[in-house]
Amino acid sequence: MIKPHGSEELMPKIVNTEEEKVALLDSAKTMKKMTVNSAAAANLVMLGAGYFTPLEGFMGKNDVISVANNMKLEKGLFWPTPVVNLTNQDLDFKEGEEIALIDPNVEGEQIIAIQKVDKIEKLTEEEINNIVEKIYGTKDKSHPGVQTFYEQGDTLISGDVSVINYSYFEKDFGETFRTAMQIRSSIESKGWKNVVAFQTRNPMHRAHEELCRMAGERVNADGILIHMLLGKLKPGDIPADVRDSAIRTMVDHYFPKDYVMITGYGFDMLYAGPREALLHAVFRQNCGCSYLIVGRDHAGVGDFYGAFDAQDIFDSVPKDALLIKIFKADHTAYSKKLNKVVMMRDVEDHTKDDFVILSGTKVREMLSKGEDLPKEFARPEVAEVLMKHYMKE
């Protein structure tokens, strides 16, 4: 199986035993406490679950600036986006102390992790603007990821962490949330050697379904990992539980048994386009996948990125930066001429009118009115799941 990123084995930061957890929580009673923001809590979940291997905790200022400017840590490890604990709070602790981090997404002031505070550093306005522009390609606050980053504050708290739990993800998505360790173990137990990963924050329509099938066939995959984001999204995106139900319905009806693993991970969407596509590749390499499907406007939002910027960025990173390979996909849609789903680049004789293409706005409008989606666009069983959601709103 493919090795994890920058390491011979996964390096999850989760506390392994109940005994260690109890001891940590006991010592936390005398620690200063800090409620982190949702982005930092999601980073903790990913650190705990092995997805951020080989990171040990939150980055300091030099690493954050190096990652923004050069896509690597100071020591040279490839890394595409900052992993930070940023705040605008007044702090009552100092460098060298251990602090208890409180989860903002769970009631009752639940401690999600213990952090050894290495440094407390201020980012200047100029530094923040540079980081935002390098990561997101824009400083426009109408971009949801940009707005979220600016809102987090200017004080960086770096240091190693010991993660105590996976926030709300295990409870709310018990059937779907999986750590990188669990996914690797499942792949190994199935005897799969060549696995294709599909990243999604949306329900899967017929084009997505066929894209997975095409990628699997073209790289001779043993199986497909459908890996959905379960964390925070921008307003208007379909909730994770609805997506989960829709995807499971599609796989149950239209894929061979035991060919697809449906899993999810606890991260908040960045909408960072090309940089986030690279991060997605790191996640899937750490899961043990050989390929990641990178499609049109992967991890994008609005018109902030070019259609294939997220594919092109992989050509600009050092060849040894990642072990995982990329399956570059074109826009995929149903061809009325051929009566099947195709990649548009494969059918040069087609015009736009030869495809069944619906905008997200049109899809939402039809579903909220109880109108059936074209069977060429969405499987009827999947459309039914989505319609129930929209009719309730």
Would you name the residues annotated as active-site residues? 201-202
CA dihedral over 127, 129, 134, 136, signed as positive or negative: positive
User: DSSP strand E in 143-252: where?
Assistant: 155-163, 195-200, 223-229
Asked if 114 and 158 touch (Cβ cutoff 8 Å), the reply is no
Q: Which residues, in sequence order, are bridge partners of residue 262?
A: 226
Q: How many residues does the chain have?
A: 393
**34 and 266 in contact (C-beta within 8 Å)?**
no
Looking at the DSSP bridge assignments, the partners of residue 340 are 335
**Quick check: 200 and 291 in contact, CB under 8 A?**
no
d(CA 45, CA 39): 10
Provide the token pair at 158: 């770096």
Q: Contact, 283 vs 198, CB < 8 A?
A: no
Q: Name the nearest CA neighbour of 277 among 296, 301, 294.
A: 294
* Distance from C-alpha of 217 to C-alpha of 369, rounded to nearest angstrom: 37
Instruction: Compute the distance between CA of residue 196 and CA of residue 293 in angstroms, rounded to an integer.
Output: 7
**Rounded-to-integer distance, Cα 143 and Cα 281, Å:** 22
**CA angle, residues 321, 326, 330, in degrees to nearest 5:** 140
User: In this structure, are strands 155-163 and 119-122 parallel, antiparallel, or unpaired?
Assistant: antiparallel
Dihedrals φ, ψ of 355, to 5°? Answer: -110, 155
Cα separation, 292 vs 284, whole angstroms: 7
Assigned token pair, 65 = 């600036």
